[in-house]
Structure 1
């Protein structure tokens, strides 16, 4: 383990977090909040800047960065970002409990959207901004942002990108990694700006529009009003957010190809086809199941589309309490929680590409058993899947299932019933937010014991980073030279 390169990169990242706190500090000044709020962000910002400077004074002599260092850097940086990012909430007493603040901040950076707040409207403007801003930062990735602004760590940082970018495969847009990161962030921020403007045009004030756009972009889903999107009672706003969430669930490589005019390659994407087919299928099935529950067909379609878009992209915004829907509709929603959206997007979950590969491997295995002498080739995007890719995808499902089962058993000690425990793990592990039962859309995670909140905080981090960085960080062999 090259500890020196880990120390140096993490130190630079802490300085980035310090710089990011300028934005909520500016909001606090803009809304003329009390000194308590200014101090909460200013003190943490200065501390992080000094700590980062001290840790990065000595540059590493050995700049070699393997996959192991990449995983460790990613895991440590996400934990520290959540830890230090929670301190302003504690200092200004908007969220006095550190455990609650850590849960809320972890939920923000991992773009989960699970909340312990029963009255979100009681927060100050600066706290609301920082809480939603963590979605924007965490959506594309903390390390991707670092690579975009710190090109000097570009040389071997492909291992960082691989460790942080969600999905079974990783590919650069252009030859230089820092340039790829800048392109991704340019697309990401441009799309965020478009959503902000569209919401503003639709009647939201600029502050609300900006914070909701952060949630849409990061597929995070922190609402700034009690009741999420419901209090706005604006069909236009719901359609903008619903379509926006769906757009941010698309692989950003596909969006880049679309922008440069390579439409043919986009239409060849098997994952993209299945993504839209699953959305249409889920909307259709739930609408049929809910006929008779709504007086207006337009309201029915709007609520169902919004909910499906929110859940499959693991965003978590709500316009309807799907916890009160019929059991069949709830099971469809629960299934979508596991699917997630496309690899290379800001969404969580298993990812559509993995789900498609799992189905294809299953079909191939059935054919092989039925006809033992038959050679069955599993193809994806019209290309044969390599043995390593198939094993990697299969192994991920095994590890995913084992971790899920372990967390579920531990949470069951605290949760009031099976549905609440199971869906709470599903909603946090897949970075969705609202679950079912006692932690459904109409409730929060505030009633859980502190140990459950800490466990679910790390479950959110493990889900966002796709398990391996967190497991490798705590493996004893990782730290051997």
Structure 2
């Protein structure tokens, strides 16, 4: 019975993604891209037709999920959606094979932004729009979106929500998970629309503005131009993208607190303060480092702010080739790849809150050496933190580094230099999309062998689900339950 329920819910998830294909389908029809019309119509039509009886059947069943069920369902959902989203790429006839299509799709949905496409501007407009949409759907989470819709079918989505967002500060803003999901999507849509309008004001057409707003708010990085944001040569557009990358890296729950007038909660938020401090420090150092080679202080500040925000929030946009920057500036960007955005944001990476917890715990351990009988605890948001939070963070960071090292070793088997191998691992596990060396702005992932693209795809999904949802399947206790 549970297998049947899983299949029906997965079909409903695919129907949600299929519904989004209507937009690139319309663009394909309007642009005269006849092949792309079929590339979107075939998978979308098939998914919707299959989902209708599943939705009718599921309304008649009383369904409850355990935490273990939630883990399995969410992992299967992301894996299946990655493959389903690859169908338009395959049917376009513009990709080298199934492997490349799946890699591009997974990179889009996980908001990684790594690509195998060499000439982006040669791609059909509908396909570029679809790439941007995969970012936007994956940014806030396809499962989170579905959680908001499942009550219409009589299904509770709390377990799925918990499995997709297993971070240390997975707060609900309302007692009902579905209401929380709707509120998060509300702010997501509002911010996306605001950036879209500002990009239009900066000279972008509606198509480019849409795709870049999708990519920015999802902290993804897919662009419609080969040289990314640099193609527009516009300080206005660069600053707009910088500001919205930073906003996308904040915990979205804080926006709800602001709307409710709870300014003290925001001002006292430990992670938000640390996030701002890290960003300002990085921008200052990079600006001073690249200033001698810049045309002006304003240009140095703009490029430093843009790239620091792009890497910290794991977006992956670029306005220049930072491989040509001084070593100090590159070192700062490299360190930012180990940080990530805030919990409850669309950004990837380890997350700032985990860095803060480990930093505070390290301070407590040093105090313990001086005062062996002392009892010390960490404080988060001016409240005493519980010990289990430290244990959870330590376990996560350990698994994160293990996966990064494993992917590094796999990448090195293809003859890639060790620095580029490490960057490729950080990019895929952290969903960053842009790094240094062979993973910098001037390169794509198309040159990596096929088997590595499958390794990278797994790493991207694991990173997007914050590891636990994937690594739990390697536990014997899970299969003994």
The TM tier, using the shorter chain, reads over 0.9
Rounded to whole Å, the distance in 1 between the matches of 2:461 and 2:377 is 35
Partner of 2:38: 39
**Shift of the alpha carbon at 1:56?**
5.4
Aligned residue number for residue 124 of structure 2: 124
Question: Do the aligned partners of 1:103 and 1:454 also contact (CA within 8 Å) in 2?
Answer: yes
Match of 2:85 in 1: 85
Query: Which residue of the partner structure matches residue 246 of structure 1?
Result: 246
Partner secondary structure for residue 137 of structure 1 = helix
Tell me, what secondary structure is at the counterpart of 1:143? helix
1:314-351 deviations in whole A, cap 9, x for unaligned? 00000011122122211211111110011000000111
Instruction: Report what 1:12 is aligned to.
Output: 12
The answer to whether 1:193 aligns with 2:156 is no
Aligned length: 480
Q: Output the CA distance in 2 between the equivalents of 1:25 and 1:364.
A: 57
Aligned 8 A contact 2:349 2:431 in 1: yes
The answer to whether the 8 Å contact 2:24/2:129 transfers is: yes
| Alpha-carbon displacement from aligned partner over 1:130-178 (angstroms, at most 9, x marks no partner) | 0110011000001111022222467642221122126312121112221
Partner of 1:421: 421
Deviation (angstroms), 1:312: 0.5
Q: Tell me: CA distance 1:153–1:432, structure 2 relative to 1, closer, same or farther (3 Å).
A: farther
Which residue is equivalent to 1:402? Answer: 402
Corresponding position of 2:110: 110
Runs of 5+ consecutive residues of structure 1 not aligned to the other structure: none
- For structure 2, the residue ranges without an aligned partner over 5 or more in a row are none
Cα deviation digits, residues 293-329 of structure 1 (max 9, x gap): 2121111110000000111000000001112212221
- TM-aligned CA deviation for residue 436 of structure 1: 1.1
What is residue 133 of structure 1 aligned with on the other side?
133
Output the TM-score relative to the length of structure 2: 0.96
Residue-by-residue CA offset, 1:193-226 (whole Å, 9 max, x unaligned): 0000000011001100010000011000101101
Contact 1:338 1:349 (C-alpha < 8 Å) held by counterparts: yes
TM-score after normalising by structure 1:
0.96
Q: Tell which deviates more after alignment, 39-48 or 135-144.
A: 39-48
Q: Could you tell me which residue of structure 2 aligns to residue 173 of structure 1?
A: 173
Contact 1:4 1:62 in 2 (8 A): no
Is the CA contact (8 Å cut-off) linking 2:377 and 2:387 kept in structure 1? no
Whether the 8 Å contact between 2:147 and 2:156 is mirrored in structure 1 is no
Residue deviations 1:396-418 (CA, integer Å, cap 9, x gap):
11111222221211111115211
Is the contact between residue 2 and residue 62 of structure 1 (CA under 8 Å) also seen in structure 2?
Answer: no
Please identify runs of 4+ aligned residues in structure 1 that moved more than 6 A.
Answer: none
What's 2:377 paired with? Answer: 377
Q: Write the distance in 1 (CA, Å) between the matches of 2:434 and 2:78.
A: 22
Are 1:27 and 1:125, in contact at CA under 8 Å, matched by a contact in 2? yes
SS in structure 1 of the partner of residue 292 of structure 2: coil
Corresponding residue for 2:347? 347
Q: Matched residues in 2 for 1:201 and 1:377: separation?
A: 49
Q: Post-superposition shift, 1:471? A: 2.3
| CA-to-aligned-CA distance 1:235-287 (integer Å, 9 cap, x gap) | 00000001010011110000111122211211111111111111000011111
CA shift for structure 1 position 126: 0.7
- Measured after TM superposition, the shift of residue 58 of structure 1 is 4.6
Does the 8 Å contact 2:396/2:468 carry over to 1? no
**Distance in 1 (alpha carbons) for counterparts of 2:476 and 2:24:** 38
Over aligned residue pairs, what C-alpha RMSD do you find? 1.8
